[in-house]
């Protein structure tokens, strides 16, 4: 997963995997809401440490998030964690 578009009613969200050099030189998955086609600030960010899931941190901001979107984001986090583990083992 690099980028995934999630929709709930009229609201749209984007989950994006990337390497975060600022928050600790680690892999991350971020969820942000699209408003009028523009990506807003992160609502939730998962930062993967050296030994996921024991070192994975989840950062949250204020705001509301539909449960359906949170579930989809958690699936994206699990998929990225699997990808990171496979890359570390090879």
Residue-number span of the structural domain to which 36 is assigned: 3-89
- Decide: 47 and 59 in contact? Cβ < 8 Å: yes
Q: CA 53, 56, 60: angle at the middle one, nearest 5?
A: 135
| Across 57-86, average pLDDT | 88
Contacts 24+ apart (CB under 8 A), 45-49: 46/77, 46/80, 47/20, 47/23, 48/80, 48/81, 48/84, 49/24
State residue 52's pLDDT score.
Answer: 60
pLDDT tops 80 at residue 36: yes
pLDDT tops 70 at residue 72: yes
| Across 7-14, average pLDDT | 94
What total of structural domains would you count in the chain?
1
Global pTM reads: 0.82
Q: Give the containing element (helix H, strand E) for 76.
A: helix 67-89
| Across 11-28, average pLDDT | 86
Over residues 39-61, the pLDDT tens digits come to 999 999 999 877 666 678 888 98
């Amino acid at each position: 997963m690099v980028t995934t578009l999630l929709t709930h009613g009229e609201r749209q969200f984007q989950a994006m995997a990337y390497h975060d050099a600022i928050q600790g030189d680690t892999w991350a998955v971020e969820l942000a809401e699209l408003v009028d086609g523009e990506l807003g600030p992160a609502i939730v960010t998962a930062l993967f440490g050296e030994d996921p899931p024991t070192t994975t941190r989840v950062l949250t901001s204020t705001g509301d998030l539909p449960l359906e979107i949170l579930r989809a984001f958690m699936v994206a986090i699990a998929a990225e964690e699997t990808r990171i583990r496979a890359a570390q083992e090879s």
